[in-house]
Structure 1
Amino acid sequence: MIIGMGSDLCNIDRIQNSLDRFGERFELRVFTEIERRKAARRPFTRAGTFAKRFAAKEAFSKAVGTGFKRGVFMKDIGVVNAPSGAPTLALTGGAALRLAEMTPDGHKAHVHLTLTDDHPWAQAFVVIEARPVIPESPVIPESLS
């Protein structure tokens, strides 16, 4: 079942202006180390890389219904890649706590994330799905069966 959904549209030039004006202070306040390393590997699209991640953080904060309140901070929301290469979110601190609070008992939250950009825009969509946890069947040793 879907328990949250959010989207955000971010202007890449606005992120570039923040990078120009505040530099590393802006990066350290908003982005995780993994996000900063990824952007550093993309010097020609650095602002776009950051803008997509900024949009993902905003979209997640909308999906959990708090915005950046109740202990949910931008640095607690990190864009990472699943083994398949698909983007997803790594959550810590207040963001992880808020997700746990809204996930129904007997379910596990699964975050779906999609990112795109076409200068001057970057966009992110987040869908949070609660999947039932299926208990494992007990293993009965052959000697008892």
Structure 2
Amino acid sequence: MIYGIGTDICDIRRITATLQRQGDRFATKVLGDDELAVWRSRSARWPQRGVRYLATRFSAKEAFSKAVGMGMRMPMSWRLCEILNEKSGKPRIVLHGELKAWFEAQGLRAHVTVTDETDYAASFVVVERDLPPPANS
């Protein structure tokens, strides 16, 4: 059963401008530890590729927060939600801490896709409920 759907589009030029103003501070606010390692590696080889990576992760987290219906308020937070890639390249959502506990207690699972073009990154998330809703929701 579909619990929620979220989508987001992000202007990559806006992410570039934010990085120029804030430097790594913005990336460390938005990215989890594993994402941060990928971002640093990609940025070192090709800075624009790092910006695109950051933009797709920002967009996917916004889409996820919309799909679960809570926006950016606890237990949802930037760093507790990571968008990582399987070996095949398929993106997947990895949750941590309070967000993971809440998500699992709701019996939810998520699917994510991300894409980027010259000026934009976009994401789409579908959240499904595997279990009947908890009695108190």
Q: TM-score range by the shorter chain?
A: 0.7 to 0.9
Please say if 1:55 is aligned against 2:38: no
Contact 2:8–2:123 (CA under 8 A) maintained in structure 1: yes
Contact 2:106–2:129 (CA under 8 A) maintained in structure 1: no
Give me the TM-score of the superposition, normalised by structure 2. Answer: 0.83
Query: Any stretches of 5+ residues in structure 1 without a counterpart?
Result: 104-108, 133-145
Aligned to 1:64: 68
Secondary structure, counterpart of 2:5 in structure 1:
strand
Please say if 1:119 is aligned against 2:118: yes
> Structure 1: which 4+ aligned runs deviate by more than 6 Å?
none
Cα separation, 2, equivalents of 1:60 and 1:76: 12
Query: Which has the larger displacement, 49-58 or 26-35?
Result: 26-35
Query: Which has the larger displacement, 56-65 or 19-28?
Result: 19-28
Please say if 1:2 is aligned against 2:2: yes
Higher helix share: 2
Query: Any stretches of 5+ residues in structure 2 without a counterpart?
Result: 132-137
* CA displacement at 1:82 relative to structure 2: 2.9
Secondary structure, counterpart of 1:126 in structure 2:
strand
Contact 1:64–1:102 (CA under 8 A) maintained in structure 2: no
Aligned to 2:34: 34
* CA displacement at 1:127 relative to structure 2: 0.6
* CA displacement at 1:101 relative to structure 2: 4.6
Over 3 Å counting, the alpha-carbon distance change for 1:41 and 1:111 in structure 2 is same
Secondary structure, counterpart of 1:79 in structure 2:
strand
Cα separation, 2, equivalents of 1:83 and 1:116: 17
* CA displacement at 1:83 relative to structure 2: 4.6
Cα separation, 1, equivalents of 2:10 and 2:98: 23
- The aligned length equals 127
Cα separation, 2, equivalents of 1:13 and 1:93: 32
Over the aligned positions, Cα root-mean-square deviation in angstroms equals 1.7
Aligned residue type for 2:35:
E
Aligned to 1:100: 104
Contact 1:73–1:94 (CA under 8 A) maintained in structure 2: no
Secondary structure, counterpart of 1:69 in structure 2:
coil
